[in-house]
Structure 1
Amino acid sequence: MPIYEYRCQACGHELEALQKMSDAPLVDCPQCQQSELTKKISAAGFRLKGGGWYETDFKSGNKKNLVGDAAKAGSKQKESAPAPSTPAS
């Protein structure tokens, strides 16, 4: 479940709440009891980087390293492809 950040427009109190994505946003401030909470926009606490980080997860048999195999196949095709000819000037 994601962690959402909230800020009260009335008193400035900030808090984090662990909620389901389908849950309604919080509106009541626990500090001043007013209905002035707004959800803040914030960056995720982690970043998924790199090519194919998920391709090797939960795979079995000969299905592993699909990204690596595709990259190798692509480089072999580039090596075997004839060089383009340039027109004479």
Structure 2
Amino acid sequence: MPIYEYQCKSCGHEFEAIQKITDAPLKECPACGVPELNKLVSAAGFRLKGGGWYETDFKTSKDKKKNLAGDSSESKSESSSKKETQKSTAETAS
């Protein structure tokens, strides 16, 4: 469902509301109760509800190899650079 932004002309209160596209715009301000709300123009926001929305759902087989938690190539290079730093620190201290 889309997330819409509103601002009250009377008190200046701004807030967001989750509404269906077919719902009528809100009119009454929740802060002051005056019916002077304006729907603001903003970037479209929406919420994906329900199960089954995963980062890897729409990736190609080549892209799926990226961003894996246990990627061996990244972890090996990071651990070797840490070991080199530790060696140089130890040599400097002696």
| Superposition TM-score, scaled by structure 1 size | 0.50
Higher relative contact order (CA 8 A, sep 6+): 2
| Superposition TM-score, scaled by structure 2 size | 0.47
